[in-house]
Amino acid sequence: MQTSILAFRGRRYLWAALALTAMCITAYWLDDPQEPPNGGTLLGYSLGTLGALMIAWLTWFGVRKRKYKSGSGTVQGWLSAHVYLGLSLLIIVALHTGFQFGSNVHTLAFVLMTAVIASGLFGVFIYMRYPERLSENRGGASRFELLDQLEDIDRRSRRVAAKLPEPFQDIVTSGVQRTELGTTLWQRLRNQDRSQVQLPDASATVSNKGQEAAMDWLAEQQSRADAESAATIAELSALLRNKRKLLRQIREDLRLQAGLEIWLYVHVPLTAALLMALLAHIVTVFLYW
């Protein structure tokens, strides 16, 4: 899907953006404003208005992508145009300013716009790499199927533990209840295993990262047990090993999914900041110019 955004319909929006940029560069080159080029000349106003309209349209994408039914093209087409026209803004607005920058609200708007564009580029990079890694990591299964497998392992562990004394049942129940997959987006992104377990001989819960504490405890019990119990404990350990592998897979899935979302937490607030700075820019030039 992601390469097709960039290559959408023979890269028509790349060509459109290049044509628009070339037209603006030509106009800038031909223009002879009798003063140093700046945002206040006729061409400066025109390019500024074009830039502001484009920014408004790019922001509208947030609304457009949530409307499934619309007569105005596919979301994919819009995104392709969003990416290429968004990039062309850098040149169009730089021409608008006549390359005059200072420490003022006008330049703040420009800096914010550049930051929005940079975060957008980063997003495209993520969209090109992560979906493939997501499906590779899932190995053909969906997230729900992975979670189903996890539940199945927990169920089977409980069944096997039921054949053993109570401490085994307790450790399995506690391990299941205290397995953590990461609640916040940030925790998922950092891929930290904060699982805990209550060991039968300990007073408080301990870290069960990688199911290690539970597996160590089982190994210790196995070394002391008679042959029949040892075989059942080994069965339980094998289930926990499978659980560990599955948990790793699910955590990686959540981490990649979080990566797909997190950059938007930069792109969207920066867009809001840009709109405010732009409004301030336009109001101040009309009031004080």
Binding residues (CB under 6 A) for ligand HEM: these are 38-40, 44-45, 48-49, 51-52, 55, 58-59, 61-62, 65, 79, 82-83, 86-87, 89, 93, 96-97, 100-102, 104, 106-107, 109-110, 113, 116-117, 120-121, 123-124, 127, 264, 267-268, 271, 278, 281-282, 285, 289
Neighbours of 172 (CB within 10 A): 24
Is residue 154 within 8 A of residue 243, CB to CB? The reply is yes
> In the complex, what is the shortest distance from the CB of residue 256 to ligand HEM, in angstroms, rounded to a whole number?
14
Smaller CB separation from ligand HEM, 100 or 207: 100
CB of 276 to ligand HEM, least distance (A): 11
Q: Minimum CB separation from ligand HEM for residue 162, in Å?
A: 46
CB-based burial of residue 24 (10 Å sphere; 0-12 exposed, 13-18 middle, 19+ buried)? Answer: buried
> In the complex, what is the shortest distance from the CB of residue 105 to ligand HEM, in angstroms, rounded to a whole number?
9
The terminus-to-terminus CA distance of the chain in angstroms comes to 47
Nearest distance from C-beta of residue 80 to ligand HEM, angstroms: 10
| Rounded distance between C-alpha atoms, residue 151 and residue 59, angstroms | 42
Closer to ligand HEM by CB, 74 or 177: give it: 74
CA distance 145 to 153: 12
Which residue's CB is nearer to ligand HEM, number 79 or number 258?
A: 79
Which DSSP string corresponds to 32-79? --SS---TTSHHHHHHHHHHHHHHHHHHHHHHHTT-SS-SS--HHHHH
Can you tell me the distance from the alpha carbon of 198 to that of 207, in angstroms, rounded to the nearest whole number? 9
Residue with Cβ nearer ligand HEM (19 or 53): 53
Nearer to ligand HEM, 37 or 175 (CB): 37
